[in-house]
Structure 1
């Protein structure tokens, strides 16, 4: 530059400069001390659209500055020039002759005369528009990638190209509830947040994958900075160093908590569906058993009265053909009796089948009032029989179907009266005692009893342990009682000895606390009555409290 100052004629100096820089890929501008253009190279004209004759005598700002040129940057540039300082890589947005903006990097060097005064400026400008577009495009891609990763709950653990330091993406910090920072952070740093119960299996899986040199894909739970627990899925390819595999240098880290929650919800729904299927299967099996019982009824019990009707009708026909009518009235009575028996069987079957079709009408049931009403009706139907009733005071109120529970008491008490018919005094005791699962009620009689070995047959459809001539019945009552009790979630059983009476028990769950009797002495009194009767099997196995 000192050599250049020896050239007094600026025009001659520009001629020499033109030959040197006219073919440069950079834009070159020479201005006087007033910042008026003296010369531009061909690259300047090609980029800006301004020819040399159009530029001479103009200030650069008159040609290049436009709406996107920063006034603040222009002010800073002017301040540097006024101070006589060199300007290096000063970026600015200029405008071409067409009005199109472009990015430029300015390098301005003041040229001084022999006295040290600025006599001109040499400006070398680089068009960096394409570079800035690429940088902007890179930034936009990075932002879009971050948005996509955030939406996919996907983060990364990578090594920075510039520094060689491992770093977490912002999504990894978010998963752990942390504020992003610039500290070096490796994959081991993420493993430090692993739920303790998962550490052993996780380490084993990582070691096995590295040893095999296969892609690692592990899922584990982490505990965030604020105690929140989340599921993450990490994937990476082991790095190979000197023929040995090591943990990957790059990992994808995905938050799969939402996915795991949906899997658990699906598992729970499947479990609920399985339970529903099992429950419906049980109901279907019960329905199938009921159908088998109906088939048995139709093939056996219903045929007996039909045979009687057909047989006696045939006898009537023969007697009428012979002209004998004396025995016909007796045969007609037998037909009527058989038809009545058939009607009872059909009504019983309808009651029994209705249990499988109709739901429970649950309400509060006052058993004490219901039972006393049932006893009065049965006592009146018994006529002149000597019956001794013993009923526990303060029977509890429960939740259940009043109509069906009434059938339970009617059938059990009618059964007790039936099998005590040969006794001079029929003794029937009604009581209850509390149990954690619900109250246990019982009906005890002094009838003929039954063989304990056949106790399970009592509650089957059309099952009877005594011959029909001795005791009337069709074997439906106790089966109906069992179904009603079980439909309430309870259970029924019986104990007995031949000729020593029988006791029928049934448990009804969900007794209200307010229904427990206030007079516990009365309950103990009733229980004592049961003990005095000498029944050593008063409580069903498994119900002992």
Structure 2
């Protein structure tokens, strides 16, 4: 450079004064240190922020004045490494302390100064106070942490999409719902929807398509499959994002884990179902108790009056015979009184058997129907004396699950009924058969007896109901009512069909696994099961 092009001394002084004025007037802190990083000069802004004047700083290192308990040792180590290069440092953030002990944040830009020979002579550091910005960032981070904590407690996650960067982000709760480790891979709403349970995908796609057509808020519930294969219920809500080609998936989609809610709803539903069943059972019990009360009231007011009336009437006649000294006539009336008493005793015994059945527990075990029927048939043959029987028993009567004592009562009443109402025939013909059904076994007993009028059959399964008043056929009208009660107690059903004077067939269905039913009166007016004739 020629001497004429060299700036004059006055010009240099003017430029230095201008530079000093700029440095003094700037709001940034300026620090100059020597090659050993000892302070040689600081500007007014530095003194104003830190509280340290130039005279107090000169010859001391910044670390002696500004570093405190929370200054990052890792950051200091990194800064020292950069300065040893030496190389420029740009926007290096560090927590420092003022003279008063108050912490503040600075952004450092440090420029190493070398002479013409390339030897390091000093450092110039420009420091910007970024305390307010860092406080806002810390507050934002704290609010973000609190929000994520609240969302985790509420099992609520978010899927966010940044239109400027094109980056999508799942919050930590989304990863928890799916049972996956958190990462920073860009994933959007569609990637989450792809985890929908296969059985829910069609309905989900239909709901999304409808919302994207109209722009209405998306509010859908569906199951998602986690990494372990388990499924969880989620509720997704968001507003479709308008674009040039229509509406797209929301930029922010909330995802709430509602598995617990769904579980509680299901539990409540099951409890309500159980309560409804209990109410129905209790209602049937009360109806059955009321029906039994009516039956017993009828029995006490009518059926038991008859033998009592006979006893009272014959006793009066006996009294007259005794007074007249007629021994032979007295014996006749005594026999009639005994028969009336026996009839009343049988009625009472039948009533007690019928009533106690509803209170007895059922002992379920395998019951060999073939052995049971053979035993009862043998007993009936002995009791029948000189009567002629023709038994046709289908081979292979199966073993069923039930109460052996109660099922014996069923067969005894059915077979005894068949014998009784066929006793006027020259040959009593009785058939016992069975067939397998998907739900259980159906048995039948067919006779060649008196039969009954199907139009009157609805009366026969009630207590003390008898269609036949023929004195040849004794009975109290209890047997078939007891049979019906036992069969229904096993969860089965009984019905019958007949043509008058051509015999009757009784059908009994027993389920494979008896489910004891609450005893109740059979519904009337149905084609099947049909009630049978009285015992």
Name the counterpart of 1:309: 311
After superposition, the C-alpha distances for 1:487-536 in whole angstroms (9 at most, x for unaligned) are 22333333444444444332333289xxxxxxxxxxxxxxxxxxxxxxxx
- The match for 2:107 among 93, 105, 108 is 105
Name the counterpart of 2:300: 298
Distance 1:540 1:475, change over 3 A: closer
**Is 1:324 aligned to residue 312 of structure 2?**
no
Name the counterpart of 1:517: none
After superposition, the C-alpha distances for 1:105-125 in whole angstroms (9 at most, x for unaligned) are 222334566877655433232
Name the counterpart of 2:3: none
Q: Specify the SS of the correspondent of 1:121.
A: strand
Deviation at 1:252, TM superposition (A): 1.6
Q: Report how many residues are paired.
A: 503
In the aligned structure 1, how far is the partner of 2:264 from the partner of 2:341?
64
In the aligned structure 2, how far is the partner of 1:175 from the partner of 1:225?
9
* Residues 205-354 of structure 1 mapped to structure 2, 5 A cutoff: 205-206=210-211, 210=215, 215-221=217-223, 231-237=233-239, 248-316=250-318, 323-326=323-326, 327-354=329-356
For structure 1, which segment, 395-404 or 30-39, has the greater mean C-alpha deviation from structure 2 after superposition?
A: 30-39
Distance 1:19 1:203, change over 3 A: closer
In the aligned structure 2, how far is the partner of 1:411 from the partner of 1:146?
75
Distance 1:252 1:72, change over 3 A: closer
Q: Specify the SS of the correspondent of 1:309.
A: helix
Deviation at 1:474, TM superposition (A): 0.8
In the aligned structure 2, how far is the partner of 1:169 from the partner of 1:207?
24
In the aligned structure 1, how far is the partner of 2:372 from the partner of 2:379?
11
Deviation at 1:248, TM superposition (A): 4.6
Task: Show structure 1 runs of 5+ residues with no match.
Answer: 513-538
Deviation at 1:434, TM superposition (A): 2.6
Deviation at 1:198, TM superposition (A): 0.8
Deviation at 1:267, TM superposition (A): 3.6
Q: CA RMSD in A?
A: 4.3
Name the counterpart of 2:391: 390
In the aligned structure 2, how far is the partner of 1:16 from the partner of 1:82?
32
In the aligned structure 2, how far is the partner of 1:401 from the partner of 1:146?
63
Distance 1:175 1:453, change over 3 A: same
In the aligned structure 1, how far is the partner of 2:499 from the partner of 2:297?
32
8 Å contact kept, 2:402–2:490? yes
Distance 1:4 1:98, change over 3 A: farther
**Is 1:30 aligned to residue 32 of structure 2?**
yes
Distance 1:215 1:341, change over 3 A: same
Deviation at 1:70, TM superposition (A): 4.5
Deviation at 1:477, TM superposition (A): 0.9
In the aligned structure 1, how far is the partner of 2:166 from the partner of 2:53?
48
For structure 1, which segment, 363-372 or 165-174, has the greater mean C-alpha deviation from structure 2 after superposition?
A: 165-174
Name the counterpart of 2:436: 435
In the aligned structure 1, how far is the partner of 2:249 from the partner of 2:79?
52
**Is 1:198 aligned to residue 199 of structure 2?**
no
Name the counterpart of 1:527: none
8 Å contact kept, 2:160–2:168? yes
Q: Specify the SS of the correspondent of 1:450.
A: coil
Task: Show structure 2 runs of 5+ residues with no match.
Answer: 1-5, 515-527, 531-535
* Residues 70-81 of structure 1 mapped to structure 2, 5 A cutoff: 70-71=72-73, 73-81=75-83
In the aligned structure 2, how far is the partner of 1:441 from the partner of 1:369?
15
Deviation at 1:89, TM superposition (A): 2.1
Name the counterpart of 1:473: 475
Q: Specify the SS of the correspondent of 1:58.
A: coil
Q: Specify the SS of the correspondent of 1:414.
A: helix
Distance 1:246 1:412, change over 3 A: closer
**Is 1:90 aligned to residue 92 of structure 2?**
yes
8 Å contact kept, 1:428–1:443? no
8 Å contact kept, 2:224–2:234? yes
Q: Specify the SS of the correspondent of 2:436.
A: coil
Name the counterpart of 2:416: 414
Q: Specify the SS of the correspondent of 1:508.
A: strand
In the aligned structure 2, how far is the partner of 1:353 from the partner of 1:332?
32
Deviation at 1:344, TM superposition (A): 1.0
In the aligned structure 2, how far is the partner of 1:227 from the partner of 1:82?
55
Deviation at 1:441, TM superposition (A): 3.4
In the aligned structure 2, how far is the partner of 1:439 from the partner of 1:252?
57
Name the counterpart of 1:357: 359
In the aligned structure 2, how far is the partner of 1:469 from the partner of 1:491?
30
Deviation at 1:202, TM superposition (A): 0.5
For structure 1, which segment, 337-346 or 44-53, has the greater mean C-alpha deviation from structure 2 after superposition?
A: 44-53
8 Å contact kept, 1:4–1:13? no
In the aligned structure 1, how far is the partner of 2:57 from the partner of 2:17?
17
Name the counterpart of 2:523: none
Q: What is the TM-score when the length of structure 2 is the normalising length? A: 0.77
Q: Specify the SS of the correspondent of 2:265.
A: helix
Deviation at 1:355, TM superposition (A): 1.8
Name the counterpart of 1:507: 509
Deviation at 1:136, TM superposition (A): 3.2
Name the counterpart of 1:370: 372
In the aligned structure 1, how far is the partner of 2:363 from the partner of 2:150?
57
8 Å contact kept, 1:209–1:216? no
Q: Specify the SS of the correspondent of 2:92.
A: strand
Q: What is the TM-score when the length of structure 1 is the normalising length? A: 0.75
Deviation at 1:480, TM superposition (A): 0.9
In the aligned structure 2, how far is the partner of 1:364 from the partner of 1:225?
49
Distance 1:183 1:496, change over 3 A: closer
8 Å contact kept, 1:305–1:342? yes
* Residues 506-545 of structure 1 mapped to structure 2, 5 A cutoff: 506-510=508-512
